[in-house]
Amino acid sequence: MYALIVLAASFLFGIHASRKPIGPQLTPVLNFIIINFAMPALVFKSIYTMVWKPEYTYIVSVPWLIFFCCLLLSFAFGAYMRWDKKVTGSIILTAGYGNNAFIGLPLIEAIYGPEWLGVGAIFAQLGITLGTNTAGVLLAACCSDADRMDWKRPLTRICTFPPFIALLSAALMRGHDLPVSVVNAFGYIGSILGPLVMISIGSQISFSMSRIASPGLVFGLTYKLICAPIIAILFMSLLDFGDELRKVLILQAAVPPGITGVIVAKEFGLDTSDSANMIAIGTVGGSSPFQFGFTPAASFIELIYKPACQR
């Protein structure tokens, strides 16, 4: 319980800090520490100490399935609403990928314990990070006015992304015995991730009231916070997932939209006018430390399909 209180206090402190003179300089510094120090340490320790189970093979399928379902539904709804392809592409990149590295990992540690962080790391890195920089970049190129696709930038981004490097390093080191003190050191460094992330998110909360109820915003949040966890539940009902693993994956599927997809959309000149509100409202209403990423619809469907998921 204390971990949840820490996350809530950090989130509120971030909102408070954003109103101080240090606010504009705070977020870039925190994000640099998160990406280059705390998150790689947590990912390395989680993957290195994780006890692998056969059902973990299917973990990566969940975020990819959520993205492609978002792709199909967004193009269908976009055609009905007569959206420009730049609008549709931006909504897919925002609603199709969650903020799992920043929000998902701290929530897993707070709610289910550090032993499940390896599952979250696999979901975030091989699902969200890899997907955003491959399928996401390809989609952005197709929806933009770019004449050709340049794969050098996304490939470089993947190969030099510190948490991804940490994941590969931990996978290679699993067959070797590291000193317990070294493994514990990674764990202690990684323990600061949750508070830093919630301070960073709180310091970035802002709303644009002029687009608070736009169709794109409503569609994107409805898909990410309600449809995505339901899709995950239906997928897991077809496979033999353990009860705890199922709950962890539902939590990860319900994590609100992430900033990485928006960055990709901006790089290719897509229309991101709804993206800021989608992230802000989704972070506060969908997976703030007070709601933990679960939506009423997802919880209801999870209860209905629980017997099927346990078969």
299: its two tokens = 């919880």
DSSP 144: S
287: its two tokens = 């997976």
Question: 279 is in which domain, residue-wise?
Answer: 2-309
Q: What is the pLDDT of residue 197?
A: 77
50: its two tokens = 């994780």
209: its two tokens = 């009231």
Q: What is the pLDDT of residue 207?
A: 60
Q: From CA 51, how far away is CA 60, in angstroms rounded?
A: 17
In this prediction the pTM is 0.75
Residue 89 has phi, psi (to 5 degrees) of: -60, -40
**Based on the structure, what is the number of domains in the chain?**
1
CATH of the domain at 237: 1.20.1530
Full DSSP string of 260-305: HHHHHHHHTT---TTHHHHHHHHHHHHHSTTTTT--HHHHHHHHHH
Estimate the crossing angle of helix 259-267 against helix 275-287, to 10 degrees.
170
Q: From CA 170, how far away is CA 150, in angstroms rounded?
A: 30
Q: Measuring CA to CA, which residue among 9, 161, 20, 131 is closest to residue 70?
A: 131
197 CA to centre of own chain: 12
Q: What is the pLDDT of residue 295?
A: 46
Q: What is the pLDDT of residue 210?
A: 56
In whole angstroms, how far apart are CA 105 and each of 101, 194, 278? Answer: 6, 8, 20
Q: From CA 232, how far away is CA 60, in angstroms rounded?
A: 11
Q: Tell me the pLDDT of the chain (311 aa) as tens digits.
A: 566 677 778 888 988 888 888 888 888 888 889 888 988 898 898 888 877 777 777 888 999 999 999 999 999 999 999 999 999 999 999 999 998 877 888 888 877 888 888 888 889 888 888 888 778 888 888 888 755 556 676 677 777 878 888 888 988 998 888 999 999 999 899 888 878 877 887 787 666 555 566 889 999 999 998 899 899 988 988 877 777 888 888 889 988 887 778 878 877 788 888 887 787 788 776 544 444 434 444 555 555 545 444 44
